[in-house]
Amino acid sequence: APEPQNLHGHLDALRRALARDDRLEELARAGSKLFNQRGTDGVSLDEVAAEIGASKGLIYHYFPNKREFIGFCYTRSFDYFERVIAIAEAQPSALAGAGLGTALNVMSQLDDLHPLALGSHFEIFEPHQQKLFTARTDALSRRTVGLIQRGIEEGEMRALDVEPVALASAGAYNTLAYWLPEKERTDPLATACEISALLLNGLASNS
């Protein structure tokens, strides 16, 4: 499992990288958190503003409409995930990188970063933005596949059908906001390490 100090150090660096305008970052975290829990259609801008004790007017100070706000949350999320995969790729082994990247993604959902879970439903955006988001999604997928393939070549990961595993691995953290209530998130670090270990090593047989 990744070292706790290493995890917290990387999370602090990610927070600094994403923090452009403090109020804007606060809105994006609140909105992404609620969108991850209930979907973009199930959350109003009033609810996003109320999450940080503000009025809807604050959101309209930055964004002309909800679509643009969601687009910003997606852009912030892509920035986050691209930084995480770069951290993973920089590790001395692909196995270590996959473990660290997964743990970071879990902790970001259970702690305070709340990147918006990525999907392929970009139809609400203008065509040029759909194209950009789709391209960034595909690039992240290719890099994740490449990390797994590197692990196979290094002899630390079993040969497998790489692309479905890469797609499925996102479910290890993207759905946390939905199925793990906040009152049960008593130890994000331990949860992150457990999920990372389970995803990489599987379950041990009792026999």
Tens of pLDDT, residues 32-53: 999 988 889 999 999 999 999 9
Q: What angle do CA 129, 131, 136 make, to 5 degrees?
A: 95
Global model pTM greater than 0.75 = yes
Per the model's pLDDT, the better-predicted residue between 3 and 53 turns out to be 53
**Type of residue found at 161:** D
Lowest mean pLDDT among 79-83, 108-112, 152-156, 185-189: 185-189
Q: Return the exposure string of 75-110: e unless at least 16 CB atoms fall within 10 Å of the residue's CB, then b.
A: bbbbbbbebbbebbeebeebbbbbbbbbbbbbbbbb
Summarised one tens digit per residue, pLDDT across range 177-186 is 666 777 766 7
Q: Which residue has the tokens 């999370």?
A: 11
Which among 59, 56, 50, 57 has a CA at the least distance from the CA of 23?
A: 59
Torsion sign (Cα): 103, 116, 143, 21: negative
